[in-house]
Amino acid sequence: MAALELSRTAHLQIAFFLRQLGGWWFFMLGRWKLFELDGGARAVAERFFVEPYQDTFLPVWALRAAGWFDPLAEFACGLMLIFGVGVRPATWVLMGLLVMVTFGHQLKEPTYALSDHVLPAALLLIGIAALAGPKDALTLGALARPIWRRLRK
């Protein structure tokens, strides 16, 4: 099966659009959890991770750590996608978060439907990961590359 060939302009446009859409989605979610939700990351850890899952086999320390990591990662990785810096590591982290969230939901409800939040985010991240790389030139990293080259000389 042949790979889909995109023109340079189409690649730039699609990669930029997907990064912005996914980046803003995760950034705003992390921002809400950190700065608008009463109690910030501590509240996220307790309300969304420890309380619902403390009766499972998962240790409370791991639930608490995941609860703190979740909003911080969403916030930071969302910014990374928006600006196009560290896109590949950001997608790895966010994909890991989606796996973690799906595992948690299915631990409580084995028939948990992926369609509400996980599937759209997963599709965005798959698209971003597929288009990330040297052809994605509308990034802060790509724009700064010529400056770094000149500074190194």
Q: Is 86 left (phi over 0), alpha (psi -120 to 50) or beta?
A: left
The pLDDT of residue 149 is above 80: no
Whether the per-residue pLDDT at 48 is higher than 90: the answer is: yes
Q: How far apart are CA 98 and CA 110, in angstroms?
A: 16
Position 1 scores a pLDDT of 53
Dist. CA 67–CA 45, nearest whole Å: 4
As to burial, measured by CB atoms within 10 angstroms (0-12 exposed, 13-18 middle, 19+ buried), residue 114 is middle
pLDDT digits (tens, 9 = 90+) for 122-137: 999 999 999 888 777 7
- Range in 5-9, 41-45, 140-144 with the lowest mean pLDDT: 140-144
H/E element, 116 = none
Note the pLDDT of residue 80: 96
Tokens coding 115:
């369609």
Query: How do residues 51-93 score in pLDDT, each as one tens digit?
Result: 999 999 999 999 999 999 999 999 999 999 999 999 999 999 9
75 Cβ contact partners less than 8 Å away, ≥ 6 residues apart: 26, 27, 30, 31, 33, 34
Contacts 24+ apart (CB under 8 A), 5-8: 8/135
Under 8 Å between Cβ of 108 and 52: yes
Q: What angle (nearest 5°) sits at the alpha carbon of residue 55, between those of residues 47 and 65?
A: 50
How confident is the model over 88-111, as pLDDT tens digits? Answer: 999 999 999 999 999 998 998 888
What is the pTM (predicted TM-score) of this model? 0.87
Mean pLDDT of 19-30: 97
